[in-house]
């Protein structure tokens, strides 16, 4: 039956409406959003001791000054303007600042701009601003060594990142997507470099393999954002691109190392080809042996297992890269590192994730070195406008061929037209691999003290620099803009199932049904 109306505090009958009004009147007024934020900010700034942004800024500046002071107290003039260590520290810190600056640039609904662009531009500006370039001098051997260390870390991450279960279950579309676009772009760039830049065929293919790799630093974060939003997960588009990307990079690095060994060996064409095959065989064999060693040593019963495994993985990788150069097999080091990390990761199984986290920290430390030093290698005064124009033309034509080939490779994989277009465009960004191997040919030419080979190496580096500068931001923006428009958004339950799937199930999704 009807309930009796409650009496209000004033003795009057209280209806539902008056009860609601009284309840609202008794509630304290909500503070206006943001009204106290300026006050809190000023209180933090003038607080004693300082807090918030001011305290963080003071701390970061103190860290930089302390690092410089310690190094200066040990090395003296080397850490003063014009010294080698001063140049390295100066470039490193400004590369970090450049990366952080680009990280703050965020556009709604778009993936963030890659921080590596800020690092690259920081190095480029340091090299080409007259006043700064006068007192920032970096020894070429130090520069090459730091880049090679970063390369060994990248290769270790790539080897550990390969999932053997996924490799067993990869369908034809994943393999086609990894091999087809890479080879087509490589061959196109090699032919164009031969006719336009007048590079020898070996150097043409060196340039081709440099530009033929896709960048995991751009593609993977963008794919994860789309996957979190449920875009393309029904047909496994994000998983497909991330899985095929690892194979694409390994293919490009292996081809580059093989051609590099052939380009710097003297003898007949047959001898050079056999030498290239020999370097590949040596790299695979050495990597397999070293990988089996760190697979069992340190043993499971030892303390700090992940740290020891990371130490051996990174240490042996660096030794492989530098040792291969010392022993005259420059093409073997990179492949040895990849095989080493892959074999060890297979043995470690799920435990390799702890190692991957430690290796990722090492990469975060050396990433500013790599991109900053690559940017600092490019001098505006040494570039001829016609050379830059030809390099852009080679890059542009090769990219068009890559996009068309990618579209053809996924044409019979169950994707609709929009999904094919998206995969083709998303397979465009370049950054990490180009920075890692783009300068190796130039470094090798410098060791041989051959001016003509140095010119070839500079052309390769210029194309790598332009590839990063053009395709990394454009690729990130294209993926962010085109993804929600071209990919189908999965229902909530499918999206959750996809996010919770195991690695083996994700690999199965590489073949759309």
Judge contact between 477 and 110, C-beta under 8 A. Answer: yes
Residue 437 tokens, joined: 């191997």
Query: Does residue 333 register a pLDDT over 50?
Result: yes
Average pLDDT value for residue range 102-129? 82
User: Nearest Cα to 338, choosing from 400, 291, 281, 277?
Assistant: 291
Confidence of residue 504 (pLDDT cuts 50, 70, 90): very low
Query: Does residue 368 register a pLDDT over 80?
Result: yes
pTM above 0.85, yes or no: no
Report the pLDDT value the prediction gives residue 157, as an integer from 0 to 100.
85
Confidence of residue 109 (pLDDT cuts 50, 70, 90): low
pLDDT digits (tens, 9 = 90+) for 190-214: 999 999 999 999 999 999 999 998 8
pLDDT digits (tens, 9 = 90+) for 459-473: 999 999 999 989 988
Considering the segment(s) 146-486 as one domain, its CATH architecture is Up-down Bundle (1.20)
pLDDT digits (tens, 9 = 90+) for 285-327: 999 999 999 999 998 889 999 999 999 999 999 999 999 888 8
User: Ranked by mean pLDDT, which of 152-156, 159-163, 217-221, 247-251 comes out on top?
Assistant: 152-156
Report the pLDDT value the prediction gives residue 46, as an integer from 0 to 100.
67
Report the pLDDT value the prediction gives residue 111, as an integer from 0 to 100.
66
The mean-pLDDT minimum among 17-21, 152-156, 254-258, 430-434 falls in 17-21
The mean-pLDDT minimum among 262-276, 323-337, 344-358 falls in 262-276
Average pLDDT value for residue range 122-126? 92
Report the pLDDT value the prediction gives residue 32, as an integer from 0 to 100.
45
Label residue 62 exposed, middle or buried (CB < 10 Å: 0-12, 13-18, 19+). exposed
Could you tell me the CA-to-CA distances from 145 to 214, 287, 312, 468 in Å, in that order?
Answer: 24, 21, 19, 21
Biggest alpha carbon–alpha carbon distance for the chain:
109
Confidence of residue 503 (pLDDT cuts 50, 70, 90): very low
Report the pLDDT value the prediction gives residue 196, as an integer from 0 to 100.
93
The whole-angstrom separation of Cα 422 and Cα 471 is 15
Report the pLDDT value the prediction gives residue 224, as an integer from 0 to 100.
75
Report the pLDDT value the prediction gives residue 499, as an integer from 0 to 100.
46
pLDDT digits (tens, 9 = 90+) for 372-419: 998 898 888 877 888 899 999 999 999 999 999 999 998 887 888 999
Cα atoms in the Cβ-side hemisphere of radius 13 Å centred on 81: 5
pLDDT digits (tens, 9 = 90+) for 57-88: 889 889 989 999 999 999 888 888 888 999 99
Confidence of residue 122 (pLDDT cuts 50, 70, 90): very high
Confidence of residue 45 (pLDDT cuts 50, 70, 90): low
Q: Buried b / exposed e across 132-165, counting CB within 10 Å, b at 16+?
A: eeeebebeeeebbbbbbbbbbbbbbbbbbbbbeb
User: Nearest Cα to 335, choosing from 151, 205, 178?
Assistant: 151
Report the pLDDT value the prediction gives residue 312, as an integer from 0 to 100.
95
Report the pLDDT value the prediction gives residue 149, as an integer from 0 to 100.
92
What percent of the chain clears pLDDT 90, i.e. is strictly above it? 33
Report the pLDDT value the prediction gives residue 62, as an integer from 0 to 100.
92
Label residue 292 exposed, middle or buried (CB < 10 Å: 0-12, 13-18, 19+). middle
Report the pLDDT value the prediction gives residue 492, as an integer from 0 to 100.
58
Confidence of residue 167 (pLDDT cuts 50, 70, 90): low
Residue 191 tokens, joined: 């032919």
Average pLDDT value for residue range 94-116? 81
Report the pLDDT value the prediction gives residue 422, as an integer from 0 to 100.
92
Judge contact between 120 and 113, C-beta under 8 A. Answer: no
pLDDT digits (tens, 9 = 90+) for 406-460: 999 988 878 889 999 999 999 889 988 888 888 888 988 988 888 899 999 999 9
Cα atoms in the Cβ-side hemisphere of radius 13 Å centred on 254: 22
């Amino acid at each position: 039956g009807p309930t009796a109306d409650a009496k209000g505090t004033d003795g009057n009958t209280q209806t539902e409406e008056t009860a609601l009004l009284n309840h609202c009147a008794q509630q304290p007024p909500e503070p206006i959003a943001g009204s106290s934020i300026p006050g809190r900010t000023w209180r933090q700034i003038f607080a004693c001791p300082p807090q918030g942004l001011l305290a963080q800024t003071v701390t970061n500046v103190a860290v930089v000054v302390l690092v410089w002071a310690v190094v200066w107290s040990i090395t003296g003039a080397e850490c003063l303007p014009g010294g080698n260590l001063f140049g390295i520290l100066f470039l490193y810190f400004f590369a970090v600042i450049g990366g952080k600056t680009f990280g703050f640039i965020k556009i709604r609904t778009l993936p963030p701009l890659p921080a590596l662009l800020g690092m690259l531009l920081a190095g480029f500006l340091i090299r080409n601003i007259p006043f700064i370039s006068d007192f920032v001098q970096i020894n070429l051997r130090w520069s090459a060594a730091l880049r090679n260390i970063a390369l060994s870390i990248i290769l270790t991450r790539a080897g550990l990142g390969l999932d053997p279960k996924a490799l067993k279950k990869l369908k034809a579309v994943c393999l086609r997507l990894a091999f087809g676009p890479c080879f087509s772009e490589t061959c196109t760039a090699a032919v164009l470099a031969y006719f336009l830049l007048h590079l020898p065929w070996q150097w043409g293919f060196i340039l081709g393999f440099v530009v033929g790799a896709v960048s995991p630093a751009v593609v993977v974060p963008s794919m994860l954002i789309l996957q979190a939003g449920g875009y393309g997960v029904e047909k496994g588009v994000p998983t497909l691109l991330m899985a095929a990307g690892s194979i694409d990079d390994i293919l490009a690095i292996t081809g580059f190392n093989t051609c590099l060994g052939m380009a710097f060996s003297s003898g007949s064409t047959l001898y050079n080809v056999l030498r290239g095959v020999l370097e590949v065989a040596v790299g695979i064999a050495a990597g397999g042996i070293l990988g089996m060693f760190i697979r069992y040593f340190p043993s499971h019963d030892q303390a700090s297992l992940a740290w020891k495994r990371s130490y051996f993985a990174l240490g042996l990788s660096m030794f492989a890269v530098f040792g291969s150069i010392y022993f005259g097999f420059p093409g073997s080091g990179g492949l040895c590192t990849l095989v080493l990390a892959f074999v060890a990761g297979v043995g470690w199984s799920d435990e390799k994730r702890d190692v991957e986290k430690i290796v990722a920290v090492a990469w975060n430390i050396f990433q500013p070195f790599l991109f900053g030093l690559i940017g600092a290698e490019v001098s505006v005064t040494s570039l001829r406008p016609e050379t830059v124009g030809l390099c852009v033309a080679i890059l542009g034509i090769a990219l068009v061929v890559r996009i068309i080939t990618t579209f053809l490779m996924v044409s019979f994989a169950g994707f609709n037209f929009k999904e094919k277009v998206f995969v083709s465009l998303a397979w465009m960004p370049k950054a990490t691999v180009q920075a890692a191997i783009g300068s190796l040919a130039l470094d090798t030419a410098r060791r041989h003290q051959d001016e003509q080979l140095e010119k070839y190496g500079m052309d390769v580096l210029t194309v790598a620099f332009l590839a990063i500068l053009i395709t990394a931001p454009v690729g990130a923006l294209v993926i962010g803009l085109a993804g929600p428009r071209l990919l189908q958004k999965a229902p909530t339950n499918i999206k959750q199932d996809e996010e919770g799937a195991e690695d083996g199930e994700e690999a199965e999704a590489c073949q759309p049904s």
